[in-house]
């Protein structure tokens, strides 16, 4: 469901748009305001009495230049080399530029992007690596890259300090040692900050601990929202940008395996976002900066903007299980999905069902930059 404010964008869908049907017509039951926001949108009512809350049609991922299912696992490790002091150097190339992206079937958004995608590349390294980011601003406005982590003032990517704002056509190299380990992020810090964030200038920045984490199937999920009519109120909510994508194409996992999610909130205009898992519970590592959970056995976590953390869980039984924001409005406006929990024998079919292959499976199981060292003594070492 999308707010009525998307009426102009909905016209782009053409013949695919159908009027919302009898759902809600038997009396408003206090929902008249919400119905007004979603009237006239293209709804899929085919699979249940009350519909699936999904728009008809599909997003053109090839034209978009990114696929949310691939975003789960497509870590950018940079160009890797070894320095004379034997430290690892990772170099990344990031270009900011404007482009239109499709955020739900037939709904388009004029984004400001890092490397043409929202969120930007998921940068991954190991604690202690020297990170060097070559940033070019090919956009129409000044931009920067601000990283959450330890670095000196000149590398902070904020106006008036160091290089400050990077004007269109200019470039800069940010350089720092990766620390602390954890689930982090980067984003533009130019004023007005809310506009530069809302337009899409953000991404994941994962620093692996030197001894790694236990093997798991790993995903990057970034919660975001989009105000398509610029009234300061989001019209579409999503995980990894495309509303309802993981409901339309459930994420394959295996029953009984450990799943690790690097969860980041970059939603603008709303104080908090959240994630809730159905039919299981998870351990949570706030900011990912500890090797032991900060929350045990929970099924819902809230995050303010730029807050992040790591979820670890298993699903015990095969089947399709929902996950979503537990703000109902966010769920109905796009932020919901499904895990397709398969048996070992059924996993290849689960991959094929959503157009994935063995390479996606390999990436999801081998994301870390370092192998796990199962040494209990390491838990006694300082976190950083």
Mean pLDDT taken over the chain: 88
Statement: the pTM of the whole predicted model exceeds 0.85: yes
217-364: what fold? Immunoglobulin-like (2.60.40)
Q: What pLDDT was estimated at residue 34?
A: 38
Q: What is the pLDDT of residues 319-372, one digit of tens each?
A: 999 999 999 999 999 999 999 999 999 999 999 999 999 999 999 999 999 999
Cα 372-373-379 angle, rounded to 5 deg: 110
Are 61-208 and 217-364 in the same CATH fold? yes
SS3 125: strand
Q: ω into residue 119 within 30 of 0, thus cis? A: yes
Mean pLDDT of 136-161: 98
- The answer on pLDDT for 120 being more than 70 is yes
Q: CA separation (Å) from 319 to 286, 298, 322?
A: 29, 21, 10
- The answer on pLDDT for 70 being more than 60 is yes
Mean pLDDT of 158-163: 97
Distance (Å, whole) CA 155 – CA 41: 45
Mean pLDDT of 48-59: 67
Q: Which helix (H) or strand (E) holds 69?
A: helix 68-71
Domain ranges within the chain, ordered by starting residue: 4-55, 61-208, 217-364
SS3 170: coil
- The answer on pLDDT for 21 being more than 90 is no
- The answer on pLDDT for 15 being more than 50 is no
Q: What is the pLDDT of residues 211-260, one digit of tens each?
A: 999 999 999 999 999 999 999 999 999 999 999 999 999 999 999 999 99
Distance (Å, whole) CA 327 – CA 322: 14
Residues 6+ apart with CB under 8 A from 86: none
CATH number, domain 61-208: 2.60.40.420
- The answer on pLDDT for 209 being more than 60 is yes
Q: What is the pLDDT of residues 277-307, one digit of tens each?
A: 999 999 999 999 999 999 999 999 999 999 9
């Amino acid at each position: 469901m999308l707010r009525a404010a998307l009426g102009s964008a909905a016209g782009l869908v053409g013949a695919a748009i159908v009027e919302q049907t009898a759902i809600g017509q038997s009396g408003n039951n206090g929902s008249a305001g919400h119905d007004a926001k979603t009237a006239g949108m293209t709804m899929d009512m085919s699979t249940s009495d009350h519909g699936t809350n999904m728009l008809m049609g599909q997003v053109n991922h090839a034209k978009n230049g990114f696929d949310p299912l691939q975003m789960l696992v497509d870590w950018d490790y940079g160009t890797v080399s070894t320095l004379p002091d034997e430290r690892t150097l990772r170099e990344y190339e990031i270009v900011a530029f404007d482009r239109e992206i499709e955020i739900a079937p037939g709904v388009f958004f004029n984004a400001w992007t890092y490397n043409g995608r929202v969120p930007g590349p998921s940068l991954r390294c190991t604690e202690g690596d020297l990170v060097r980011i070559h940033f070019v601003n090919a956009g129409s406005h000044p931009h920067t890259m601000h990283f959450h982590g330890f670095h000196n003032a000149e590398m902070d990517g904020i106006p008036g300090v160091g290089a400050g704002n990077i004007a269109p056509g200019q470039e800069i190299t940010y350089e720092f040692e990766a620390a602390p380990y954890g689930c982090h992020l980067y984003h533009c810090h130019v004023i007005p900050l809310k506009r530069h964030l809302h337009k899409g200038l953000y991404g994941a920045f994962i620093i692996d601990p030197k001894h790694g984490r236990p093997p798991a199937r790993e995903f990057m999920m970034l919660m975001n929202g989009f105000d398509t009519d610029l009234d300061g109120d989001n019209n579409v909510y999503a995980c990894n940008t495309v509303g309802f994508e993981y409901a339309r194409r459930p994420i394959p996992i295996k029953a009984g395996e450990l799943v690790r999610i690097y969860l980041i909130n970059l939603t603008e205009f709303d104080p908090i976002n959240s994630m809730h898992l159905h039919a299981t519970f998870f351990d949570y590592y706030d900011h990912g900066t500890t090797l032991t959970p900060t929350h045990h056995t929970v099924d819902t976590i809230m995050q303010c903007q730029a807050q992040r953390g790591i979820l670890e869980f298993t699903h015990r039984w095969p089947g399709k299980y929902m996950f979503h924001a537990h703000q109902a409005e966010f769920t109905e406006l796009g932020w919901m999905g499904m895990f397709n929990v398969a048996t070992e024998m059924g996993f290849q079919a689960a991959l094929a069902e959503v157009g994935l292959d063995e390479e996606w499976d390999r990436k999801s199981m081998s994301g870390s930059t370092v192998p796990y060292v199962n040494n209990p003594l390491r838990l006694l070492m300082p976190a950083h």
